[in-house]
Amino acid sequence: MTDTLVRPVTAQPRFEAARAASRVLATATSAQKDAALHAIADAVAGSADRVLPANELDLAAARTSGLSAGLQDRLILTADRLAALADAVREIARLTDPVGQVLRGSTLPNGLHLTQQRVPFGVVGAIYEARPNVTVDITALALKSGNAVVLRGGSAAEQTNRALIQVITDAIRSTGLPADAVQTVDDFGRDGARQLMQARGLVDVLVPRGSAGLIETVVRESTVPVIETGAGVVHVFLDAAADTTMAVDIVLNAKTQRVSVCNALETLLIHRGAADRLLPPVLAALVEAGVTIHGDATVCAAFPAAVPATEQDWAAEYYSLDLAVAVVDDLDAALTHIDRWSTHHTESIVTNDLTAAERFLAEVDSAVVMVNASTRFTDGGEFGFGAEVGISTQKLHARGPMGLAELTSTKWLVRGSGQVRH
């Protein structure tokens, strides 16, 4: 008899194990779940010996395969980064447990008592790329909201994620909750993602986190319901009645405070009636901050250093110190431009005109619509949610920054005394 290593062909048993664990988690108390989170935090903080050598293997492979410097940076773990991850888990433990919250209720004329209550989804799937911090983060968010989780973290971080998941499941087991609550399909390679996307009935919701291409693939191929997160072609509109200083401050902050995030500004629109007043100080501040201006004809005429913008610029999510700038005839033209090019993430108007502000709030169809504020505020932490699962750009279930409540479903409880229907 030979002892061969057989690679499993189906992840079905893992999905079923996650589902069985989810039934235990669904009725676990907040105290039990928080104990597990603190055990995970302590274990992650002390996991350098187990995790960093695995991370070294991934980094060596990344250098060989020529992974971009940006992705390599996201992949690196250090003792400090592990400590920060542990702190983030402790923060999540401190949040209010959404499970059991009563949302609506009534007593019907026939005496039936109805209560709509938050319950965990059951099993949450996560598909992401080369970011081991997401492994810890999404696991903690899922457990806190009573869900089991199935992770697909991408081949570039496979060794790191395997080590982290081992650390996490050991910690969960030590507290008496089921270690099966955290599963991975990373060892199935690309087929793991495929199986996860087809696990309808065993996995209740899928949250893809990563590039637009990754999210598009998941939306197209998944039969499990998906919460789409991410892409942000974010606009600021400087209205005719915009205060000059406020316009400069908000545009500069929205574009340059952090460029590689989805709530950063990508296209600036300026009312023609205020262009002469606003363009010079706004563009000067941007250029001083190192921003390259991609302008329409009016902008290029007024500001020769601008690069002429093409259609691609209006659709671009630069993630860099680049900004598309257009002068528009009026608020209606701004709304039309936004409707055409926005990814419906966040848009902001700068104005002191109440009518313009209210029209902008009412007519822009985005997850977050702002007046006189930097688009960088679209963030679960800034909104006071304490944690962020991602920013939903779809309209079903969750829209905008998602906190723990967005990782729950609801169920109706009906308490009667023998009622039948006539």
- Closest approach of its own copies to the CB of residue 157, in Å: 28
Q: Which is nearer to its own copies, 170 or 317 (CB)?
A: 317
Q: Which is nearer to its own copies, 83 or 321 (CB)?
A: 321
List all residues 6 or more positions away from 217 whose beta carbon is below 8 Å from its beta carbon.
Answer: none
Q: Helices 275-288 and 244-256 sit at what angle, rounded to 10 degrees?
A: 40
CA distance 30 to 297: 59
- Closest approach of its own copies to the CB of residue 131, in Å: 22
Q: What angle do CA 244, 260, 381 make, to 5 degrees?
A: 80
Q: Which is nearer to its own copies, 21 or 59 (CB)?
A: 21
Q: Are 149 and 184 in contact (CB under 8 A)?
A: no
- Closest approach of its own copies to the CB of residue 61, in Å: 34
Q: Which is nearer to its own copies, 187 or 382 (CB)?
A: 382
Q: Which is nearer to its own copies, 76 or 246 (CB)?
A: 246
Q: Are 345 and 232 in contact (CB under 8 A)?
A: yes
Q: Which is nearer to its own copies, 319 or 383 (CB)?
A: 383
At 149 the three-state DSSP class reads: strand
Q: Are 237 and 363 in contact (CB under 8 A)?
A: no
- Closest approach of its own copies to the CB of residue 136, in Å: 25
Element (H, E) at 46: none
- Closest approach of its own copies to the CB of residue 17, in Å: 15
Q: Are 203 and 123 in contact (CB under 8 A)?
A: yes
Tell me the backbone φ, ψ of residue 348, rounded to 5 degrees.
Answer: -135, 140
At 183 the three-state DSSP class reads: strand
- Closest approach of its own copies to the CB of residue 47, in Å: 32
